Amino acid sequence: MGVGGCLALPWRCLVVLCLRLLFLVPAGVPVRSGDATFPKAMDNVTVRQGESATLRCTVDERVTRVAWLNRSTILYAGNDKWSIDNRVVILSNTKTQYSIKIHNVDIYDEGPYTCSVQTDNHPKTSRVHLIVQVPPQIVNISSDITVNEGSSVTLMCLAFGRPEPTVTWRHLSGKVRQTFVSEDEYLEITGITREQSGEYECSAVNDVAVPDVRKVKVTVNYPPYISNAKNTGASVGQKGILQCEASAVPVAEFQWFKEDTRLANGLEGVRIESKGRLSTLTFFNVSEKDYGNYTCVATNQLGNTNASIILYGPGAVHDGGNAASRVAAGLCLWATLLARLLLDF
């Protein structure tokens, strides 16, 4: 509050003065700028690592000696430099101000600095805290990892910054992108499922600069599971295609059998093509002997599974005991029940 403020509101100045007398009389206690007593230092100084900090101390002509101290070490006494640190320079030593500057501030510079003055043989000090901020930075994070389904996984994300950053984990491949899976440096997943595979993002956040964000890929291995294997009809002389679809991590390898005989490329008239999760068995020119029961086997390092697929001719109702035959059985049951009801009637 300036003099103008005091003229306008004298009672407020009185209250402020009383409060200051109550709390700030002991020497060495931080003195806020605008205080009536000398020396006057500024409020705490906050700078980012690498920037420069200016420490100002307001004095008057009664002052006979001045010095800036870092803890109990003298940096400057008057115009004499005591510090051997070439980052520390004097900015001004006038009748009204005594200031120094610290270039390229680092975290170990953080702490209390003292402006010490002597007025009429009375030493007085004022203290200012230099606060050094550091943008968030992830310093160590788990590498991409591959695990088997059901095992436990711990992801780690260690971050540095000042103030200390908050660390959170998100599952990016998850359906809800915003869901935090952990609000901690460690993310623990016990009994991991295939749905929990994908990318995990660690963010380190403080209010100094933009968050630091890194990703970790978690691959979950699981044995093959055949999701699609449909019986297929084809007429003699035409093309016939059997398809087998399996999901697995790592990707499954496929084999085709007819009864106990393994089919292979190069055998007359057939071609096997496997790409990703799909394998197809193609008959270029279907003949009677091709009809029958085929087995598709999907294998990866965690196991194998198989499914039967029938290649049938026109007129044949082959559904491998599946939907159509179940519908037929159901209809039959109904017919029987209906017949009995009618008889009972």
Ligand X SMILES: *[C@@H]1O[C@H](CO)[C@@H](O)[C@H](O)[C@H]1NC(C)=O
Contact residues for ligand X (CB under 6 A)?
Answer: 30, 43-44, 70-71, 75, 83, 85, 88, 102, 108-109, 129, 140, 237, 257, 285, 287, 293, 295, 297, 306, 308, 310, 320
CB closer to ligand X, 46 vs 118: 46
CB closer to ligand X, 29 vs 213: 29
Query: Beta 212-229 vs 232-233: how paired, if at all?
Result: unpaired
Q: Which residues pair with 246 in a beta bridge?
A: 226
Residue 173 has which token pair? 């491949």
Closest CA to 268 of 296, 290, 298: 290
Give the shortest CB-8-to-ligand X separation in angstroms: 25
CB closer to ligand X, 33 vs 336: 33
Closest CA to 99 of 123, 132, 133, 126: 126
Give the shortest CB-285-to-ligand X separation in angstroms: 4
CB closer to ligand X, 132 vs 249: 132
Q: Is 107 exposed, middle or buried (0-12, 13-18, 19+ CB in 10 A)?
A: exposed
Q: Which residues pair with 340 in a beta bridge?
A: none
Give the shortest CB-295-to-ligand X separation in angstroms: 5
Give the shortest CB-59-to-ligand X separation in angstroms: 20
Q: Please tell me the distance from the alpha carbon of residue 62 to that of residue 285, in angstroms, as a whole number.
A: 111
Give the shortest CB-96-to-ligand X separation in angstroms: 22
Closest CA to 299 of 227, 257, 264, 248: 248
CB closer to ligand X, 19 vs 338: 19
Q: Please tell me the distance from the alpha carbon of residue 102 to that of residue 45, in angstroms, as a whole number.
A: 12
CB closer to ligand X, 64 vs 140: 140
Give the shortest CB-105-to-ligand X separation in angstroms: 8
